[in-house]
Structure formats: C-alpha cells, structure tokens
Amino acid sequence: MIWTPVVRRDGRFLLCLAAWVLLALCVGRAYAQPGLAGSLFAASRPAVAQVRVIDTASGDKAAIGSGFQISADGLVATNFHVVAEAAHEPARYRLEYLGDKGVAVTLRLLDVDVVHDLALLRADTPLPGVLQPAGGELAQGERIFSMGNPLDLAMTIIEGTYNGFVEGARYRKILFSGSLNPGMSGGPALNQHGEVVGINVARGGEQISFLVPVTYLEALRKKALDPARAGKGMAARITEALLADQDAYFGALLSAPWNSQPLGNFRVPGSLGPSVQCWGGSDEIDEELFAHIGQECGSEDIVFVGEDLETGGLRYSFHAYSSEELGTLRFYSLLDSQYAHSDWFAAADDSQVGNFDCREDFLMSQGIDWRISVCARRYTELPGLFDMSVAMATTSLPREGLVVNLALNGISEPRAREFLRHFVESISWVP
C-alpha cells in the first residue's frame, strides 16, 4: 500500500517540505559521489600496472601478472611466480610493465623471496604513483580491496573482506573473501585508507583467495639493500632461501614432541604440527578375509620454484592390516602387494631433478622387523636439496602388519636422515 500525504498549508507543512527537500539533496549527493571502491581505484591506479614476461625470441608475452610501485624511484613489487621464468632464464626473457597509455617500460629483477612468493623489480621509468604499507592489524570482517589486471582484460578493483590468517598454514597467508583471477597475481590488496595490507597470490575458488602479508614485502625490501646479496645470482639466492626454510621447518618438527596415536595394535605419529592435517578410514573386506585401517597425513603448503618444480611438501601414510582367516603366506603376500613407493612427487622436468637412487634393507626398530626401501633424487639446479621417498612394511608380526609411506620434498641430506630415523623410531607395536 502506498500512502498519499495530506497537504496542509500551515507551519508544519513548511517544516515537512524543508525536511523532504534536505533529504532529497543529501541522497542525491550520496549517489552522485563515487563509492569507496571507486575512490580507492582512482587514487591507487597510478601506482598499479600490468607486469609482463616477454619471450625475447618472439617478442610476445610468455606470462602476465600485476605489480605496484612502493617507492618514487621505481621500486615495483609483484609475485615471484609471475617473473619466475625471467629469474631462471634471464637471457631468454625480459620484463616490462604496461603503462596507462599502453607504453611498455623495462623492468629489472632486483631480488626475490621464493618462500613467500615475492619479487622486487626496478622500473627504468617510475610509475606516477606510490602505495604505502599499512600499519597495525585489521579486524575480522573489515573490508579490503584487491587490484590487478585479470585475464589481460583491464585493471580492476575487487571488494572483499579480511578473515585473518589461514589457520594451520606453514606459510602465513591472509584469507580474503574475494575472487582473484589469473593476471591479478602480484597486485596490491588495500585497506580502506588505500594502504597495502597484502599482495595477491592465489585463489581457492568460490570467493576464497589468499594474500601474502605486506610484512614479508617489507622484509624483502630491507634484505635487497644488503650489499652481500649483490654478488649472488638468483639461483644462489633461491637455493639459500629454500635450504634455510627446510632447515627451520624440519628442525622445529623434530624438536617438538610428536603426537602418538593408535592404529589397530600399532602406535604411529599423528599430526606432527599445526601445518599437518590427517585423514583416516577403515573397512573390513569379507571376501578378501582381512580388515584394514588407514591414515594419511600431510602439509598442503608448497613453494613454487618454477613451472616444472614445486617443493616443500611433507606427506606420510600408515595402512594396518589384520586377518584371522589368511594363512601366513597369503597374509604376507597381501602386505607385499601394498609395499610400493608413493606417487606423491610432482612430475618435474628431467632437467630439474636427477633419477631416484634407491636402497633396500631390513632393520629392527622398537621390536618390529621392517623391510625398508629409501629412494632419493637431487635437485640439479638447487644444490644441497633432495626429494626422499620411503616405503616400509613389517615382516614378522603374526596375523597383522603395517605398510608405511613417507615423502619429503626439498630437504637436505642431514635433515632427511635425522627425520627418517626419528620417524621410524616413533612407530611401535602393542600386542
């Protein structure tokens, strides 16, 4: 129902008329003014540009992303994965940003943080704007705004909310409820004051995306000023960062007490830390005359090194079998059929890794006899780092057995040996 006002020609009518006029004027101004997203876009646009990786042979784009200027002398930030090809093969690729008028400006790669997926570039001609890092913490649900050039369409701003840091992540990431798309990687995420709170890095789908906290960018900016780094090539810097990261991560895991939990009559490590998630299941297979309990654990965090190599993974599994019906020979045939190395390793280019070198042996630990196979392969371009794959199976327990797999990506030999020894010793049998 729409009510029609009764018009009276008295003082109250004049007051009402004045109020209606004032309200109309205020509403008109509100709609005439650009929204916050529009204001931020207009203010920040001069500092944000598309970053391009150009194949020097063809002169065409090989990869695109976004970037933003953080100092008036042309210091530009982006993601490492945007410029990784140029970092690994500088003779084959060159970098540039595309200015407002479509003019390409040369960029030079200054430094990288491969662990947190960041890179610093220097522009021959600075962009006309500069973005500053935010100070202080954001509140849960606070609005933030991401900028970038999605799918090579046009510079865009996307509104979403800040949802704190991803819980249990090995590498700290901001959970952003907004839709990042390819091409936006390396662009800035801004608070309501136009200050940078994070850098676009990845999308999870369905309005879930991730940002690198701006504190890591500030740390890289300071590190890039260190004269000692000037003499190191990009490969050496990447290797150094990965070695330090794996040493710190696996060192922390080894120094903390491991959570032991039952799996049938065995006790095995559960989650080794907040970044490791475990999943389990069980079944009884009547027609096969045995029961099975399984558990798989792993860290979802990986480090992008290049198109053909991702590293930093940790995964392990336990599969316990028991049977009252199978004879000894058939039962150990069952265990033997499950004894194999996992396929958890990324299919890296042969130029990035060597072949797996495997050794098989028998050992006893915690009163359990094991058959064990250990395979390792080195990273050809990252000296000191290896992938290690382990397969284990019990050999002498009556009517029950355990099959184990362990995969470590990008680990040094000393840490691999230390971790494997501790891992094997943490498994026991309680008859």
pTM over the 0.75 mark: yes
CB atoms within 10 A of CB 335: 19
Contact 47, 69 (CB under 8 A): yes
CB atoms within 10 A of CB 182: 14
Give the contacts of 230 (CB within 8 A, at least 6 positions apart).
Answer: none
Give rounded-to-5 percent helix, strand, coil for the chain.
Answer: 25, 40, 35
CB atoms within 10 A of CB 347: 7
CA distances from 285 to 266, 324, 371 (A): 20, 12, 25
Give the contacts of 218 (CB within 8 A, at least 6 positions apart).
Answer: 133
Contact 365, 347 (CB under 8 A): no
Structural tokens at position 364: 């006893």
Q: What is the DSSP letter of 415?
A: H
Q: How far is CA 414 from the centre of its chain?
A: 25
Q: pLDDT tens track of the chain, all 431 residues?
A: 222 222 233 333 333 333 333 333 333 333 334 589 999 999 999 999 999 999 999 999 999 999 999 999 999 999 999 999 999 999 999 999 987 677 899 999 999 999 999 999 999 999 999 999 998 889 999 999 999 999 999 999 999 999 999 998 999 999 999 999 999 999 999 999 999 999 999 988 778 999 999 999 999 999 998 888 888 999 999 999 999 999 999 999 999 999 999 999 999 999 999 999 999 988 866 666 888 999 999 998 899 999 889 999 999 999 999 988 888 888 889 899 999 998 887 656 677 899 999 999 999 999 999 999 999 999 999 999 999 999 999 998 888 999 999 999 999 999 999 999 999 999 999 88
Helix (H) or strand (E) holding 158: strand 156-165
CA distances from 239 to 90, 170, 305, 350 (A): 17, 19, 10, 18
Please give the backbone phi and psi of residue 418, each rounded to the nearest 5 degrees, phi first.
-65, -45
Query: In 2-123, which ranges are continuous DSSP H helix?
Result: 11-32, 36-44, 80-88
Secondary structure (DSSP) of 356-378: -EEEEEEEEETTEEEEEEEEEEE
Rg of the Cα atoms in the chain: 29
Q: For each of the domains in the chain, give its residue range(s) and CATH number, in order of start.
A: 36-231 (2.40.10.120), 240-429 (3.40.1000)
